[in-house]
Structure 1
Amino acid sequence: MTLPLRTGLVVGKFWPPHRGHQLLLETAAAQVAELLVLVYANPDSETMPAPVRAQWLGELYRGDELAAGPHIGRTPLHIFALTAGADGVPPDVADDFTQREFVRQWLARQGLHIDVIFSSEAYGPGFAEQLGVAHVSVDAARERVPVSGTLVRGNPAQYARYLHPLVAAQLGAVPPAEVPRVVFLGAESSGKSTLCAALAEACGTVWVPEYGRTLHEQKNGNLDYEDLLYIARRHAELEDEAAAQAHGVLFCDTNAATTALYSYYYFHRCDPALRAMAAVCGQRYAHTFVCAPTVPFEQDGWRGPEALRSFQHGMILMQLDYFNIPYTLVEGTVEERVTQVQNVVGAWPAPARR
């Protein structure tokens, strides 16, 4: 399908970005050649100001090629974070004419032309009329995604189901899981993938491979700092997708906490959004297993030297203790490890396994 050669506009607080915002953006992107997104509020959040919220939006729609910028499908997103100091954002309580005129003048100063405004609010038609462009309403009744930023700010845990895992983590919340998720951690070549595959077969369910490994190979080992947050975000999405096919339990190879460790290992720093995702791992998974680095080391060309395994193992255990996350150490052959895991999972009450 050939997209119309026109530019769309979405304006909002995105405080915080939720699934309703994502529906709005994705619906808009499907109908335009490019989409402008303005993020602002006055007064703004002190803990998650507009530049931070704009960064989250950009990360949610980042593809494998970071240089290409945020995209939804083939549509590029141009995300702008506006502030009262730098851009003269009017107070939220200002009248409609003032709000609309601010956007019109800001666009003019930037030399930007739009053809259509997309909104989920009652102000949308009048806003579009004052700017002399078309308007498209998206789920204004909030029937498809019954949530608002106000509701989320009031009770993040209650409305976490309407948040992407990356955003939910920034609020210290975890979206409810359809099935219990069991995560396996361990040093390189400690048997995590082999064990996950064996357990999935034995339990008649599915498992989620380590996405960091996938991207590492795709980029021929040349990961950038920004890739680490992307890995955690994409891995969380793959878990959510796999949960729909899981039966009773979902086995996951690695989590955001280990990705954060690798961020420090390779780049000596870690994005705050990735740190937040690491901090909620204790809530995201029903149980954590750590694979002892006692299986024969296999150098497949992508791993570090075998001497690192003991250090990596110790760092993982230290991190689990730091976050107060209980874990079970599994050792022995694959068959023995499968039995050890099944003994733990099989002891859960029946409702926990649904």
Structure 2
Amino acid sequence: MRYGHGLVLGKFYPPHAGHHHLVRTAAARCERLTVLVCASSVESVPLADRVAWMREAHPGCEVVGAVDDIPVDLTDPDVWAAHVAIFRAAVPERIDAVFTSESYGEELGRRMGAASVLVDPDRTAYPVSGTAVRKDPVGCWPYLAPPVRGALARRVVVLGAESTGTTTLARDLAERYRARGGVWAGTRWVPEYGREFSERKLAALGPAGTWTDVSFASEEFPLIAAGQLAREDRAAREGAPVLFCDTDAFATTIWHERYLGSANPAVARVAEEGRRQHLWLLTDHADVPFEDDGLRDGEHLRPWMTDRFAAELTRTGRPFRVLRGSREQRLAEAVEAVERLLAADWGFTDPLPERRG
């Protein structure tokens, strides 16, 4: 049977493949479908994010959000009435059918004055739930869409002074995790956008140009920071539960000091507004010989830069670890730090309790 106006509602905390299957099924049976995202104030994923994720996944549907801080009690008529009042305030138009995968679907349909359509209640199409995702995001990674992956991926930044092995370590870490296979096979690393920016500036000088002829303007650094962050965000959406970044927008604040001798608040704003990283690995200049690759001239500044990175990481409350020793030693210590990060809590707060009788 085909319906005029259908409704799918849920917490989508966070949305997963089962949710998307429900929405697609409902959309195929309705002339028009509204998706209502209901979030409580105690939940750690903002309502606006969930609405945006569902809109991206289902552009043909109307997606709206509502705050619902009433605990679920399927045995209490007054609680039911309070929930339905929130639903109707968010979606005041007539509803012809409600689509759910839950046992309460029939009662919800009755109270909304609509038909109830049950979709895959046994989760055979996609054996996943929001509870499972919150408990084990890595195990549920195949069921998550790009925007959710982008929000959840643990981002590890490798940063340091010139010629301290940041690129080597970022690449080595990605290769180590890719070798694990499974969800880790898609592990990626993000190259340094600032280096590409610098290469273009040098190339623009022509064959006779050298690195000493290149100069930077302060207004270029916010662009570099934003470009780095954009690449990082794209890679996080497409990859595995961990992403390795060869520098980040925060590091650009120190590079501005290195080249221009002072801070630029605009760069710092980009770094703070785009702060989605979880761990910083600082490559010490010790034990790494300086190599001039044509884009470097700061061997004498390496101790100062290492100290500045450490000081600013500490001041801004960014968790970091200083890596020293050989390439193998640094990789081993980095993996140990990353494993602790992945084993830590992923930050989901518990939803409001539910009583189902």
Q: TM-score, normalised by structure 2?
A: 0.49
Q: Which structure is richer in relative contact order (CA contacts within 8 A, separation 6 or more)?
A: 2
